[in-house]
Amino acid sequence: MSTAPPPQFPAGFRWGVSTSAYQIEGAATEDGRGRSVWDTFAHTPGRIADGSTGDVACDHYHRHAEDVALLAGLGVSAYRFSVAWPRVQPDGSGAVNPAGLDFYERLVDDLLARGIDPVATLFHWDLPQRLEDAGGWLARDTAHRFAEYADLVAARLGDRVKLWITLNEPFIHMSLGHGTGKHAPGRTLLFDAFPAAHHQLLGHGLAVAALRARSGSPVAIANNYSPVRVVGDTGADVAAGAAYEALHNRLFTDPLLGRGYPEELGFDQTPVRAGDLDTIAAPLDVLGVNYYNPTGVRAAADDSPLPFELVPLEGYPRTAFDWPVVPDGLRELLGWLHRTYGAALPPVQITESGCAYDDAPDAEGRVPDPHRIAYLDGHLRALRAALDDGVDVRGYFVWSLLDNWEWAEGFTKRFGLVHVDFATQARTPKSSYAWLREVIAASRRGPDR
């Protein structure tokens, strides 16, 4: 970690933290909440590393006031949370669940009372199980149901949510949920998962129209991006890197910014109907960028069903997830977006950036996490360099406020600025929480003040 003072950011820069509903809320069967694909997946033996579920998670549903106080103590200007579709619309269509909307209204009002901007993500992977039973994101109708749900949420909260995010990481949901089966709903379609990509993006476009009809707040999508590092020097290795870049970074960005789908992927375009690409390319106010690490890629073996092979990047520190820590990858990624899309690129906010380490309380009950401080320090410096290079970046959200239920890894990976004892639900701010609080305060004070 650098010993130099943290970099300064422009006035009005948005400092935030992020969470998602299924990972923290709990209350899985309370107050009319319906079942999601993640409820089903987590309760299927062998799917989750430690056999746990998100039934209780961080119990945020009952403890949200305590968590809002932690946000206020941190000094953030925004909180990115997700709305659980099955809590609002238990079957994914039809009648709304008033208790579900009441919860999010309480949360939003509590945030505003503390001077914190509510940033609401409408879909963070927890599709209502009834919709999955009808085909899920492989079915075109799900896109229309998503727009209906967006309208319901915006009708209640559209005057108070300060930024809408339609989808979180549609690439990850397509690839892990529908391609390899590592995430819910557990489908293993590989490249035949393209309909799940198209229908998510169509749902995004339809939801943009619904949100703008109800709310004057800006609208975004949060994409996961990974700079591609080709491992090898053959023509086949270079081609593999280009294929992976088209899949991971361009499949969910080219159509959003009016370029259509990358032709070199060769996907069957049957799900794409007349007018769909215009709907998907509805102008964005913000592009949310989730960055964790670059990806090493080389040519695949001749018998592989994929045109590339993912390989570890050597020579970097690693997180508890075994991800390489490459802060400059954030600068590299933002520069790639800036060069690739030019004037079509809307202002950017970093909607997720964070790391998992095996944090534990010491003998005095404190939770030191110097590796996370070094990670955040390095990534903020890389972000400052990207601004200096001319990229319009207006916010940075840390993943995550709390240690949470980390999808297929269960409770085995800790990303939080705040340690959670999952047996007692006790919250303990880590040393990174105090560090970030001072960074935010210093940035607001300005240099030499």
CATH code given to domain 14-445: 3.20.20.80
Would the annotation count 405 as a binding residue? no
Regions of the chain short of the pLDDT cut 70: 1-2, 447-449
Comparing C-alpha atoms, which of 250, 145, 153 is closest to residue 206? 145
Q: Using an 8 Å Cβ cutoff, are 129 and 89 in contact?
A: no
Other beta carbons within 10 Å of 347 = 15
The token pair that represents 210 in the structure block: 């619904």
Question: What are the backbone angles phi and psi of residue 279, rounded to the nearest 5°?
Answer: -65, -45
Q: What average pLDDT does the chain have?
A: 97
Following CA atoms 254, 256, 257, 259 in sequence, which dihedral angle do they give, to the nearest 10 degrees?
Answer: 40
The DSSP element (H or E) to which 297 belongs, if any, is: strand 295-298
Closest CA to 395 of 346, 355, 428: 346
25, 132, 245, 352: the catalytic one is 352
How many other CB atoms are found less than 10 A from the CB of residue 125?
26
Residue type, 170: P
Write down the pLDDT at residue 449: 41
d(CA 294, CA 324): 8
One-character DSSP codes across 70-105: HHHHHT-SEEEEE--HHHHSTTSSSS--HHHHHHHH
How far separated are the first and last CA of the chain, in Å rounded? 23
Residue count of the chain: 449
Question: Residues 19-55: pLDDT tens digits?
Answer: 999 999 999 999 999 999 999 999 999 999 999 999 9
438 annotated as belonging to a binding site for a ligand: no
| Phi, psi for residue 309 in degrees, rounded to 5 | -130, 135
**What's residue 322's pLDDT?**
97
At 286-303, the pLDDT tens digits run 999 999 999 999 999 999
Can you give the pTM of this predicted structure? 0.98
Tell me, yes or no, if 148 is annotated catalytic: no
332 is catalytic: no
Q: How many CB atoms lie within 10 A of CB 415?
A: 25
CA dist., res. 439 & res. 76, Å (int): 11
313 to 231, 295, 387: CA distances (angstroms): 8, 7, 26
For residue 150, which of 213, 198, 65 has the smallest C-alpha distance?
A: 213
Tell how strand 14-18 and strand 393-399 pair up: parallel
Residue 341 marked in a binding site: no
How many H helices and E strands in the chain? 14, 13
Q: Has 407 been labeled as part of a binding site?
A: yes
Q: Phi and psi dihedrals of 426, rounded to 5?
A: -65, 135
What is residue 447's predicted lDDT score, i.e. its pLDDT?
65
In the set 25, 132, 169, 245, the catalytic residue is 169
Please tell me the predicted confidence (pLDDT) of residue 12. 94
Q: 148 exposed, middle or buried (CB, 10 Å; 0-12, 13-18, 19+)?
A: middle
Instruction: Name, in order, each residue with C-beta under 8 angstroms of 377's C-beta and a sequence gap of 6 or more.
Output: 1, 2, 6
- The CA distance from 361 to 366, in Å, is 5
Which residue intervals of 17-84 are DSSP H helices?
21-24, 37-42, 60-74
Q: What residue spans of 250-369 are helical by DSSP H? A: 276-280, 328-341
Burial 28-42 (b: 16+ CB within 10 A, else e): beeeebbbbbbbbbb
Using only C-alpha atoms, the chain has a radius of gyration, in whole angstroms, of 21
Q: How far is the C-alpha of 343 from the C-alpha of 60, rounded, in Å?
A: 40
Going from N- to C-terminal start, the domains of the chain cover 14-445
Among 422, 317, 318, 424, CA closest to 53: 422
Q: Annotation-wise, does 292 bind a ligand?
A: yes
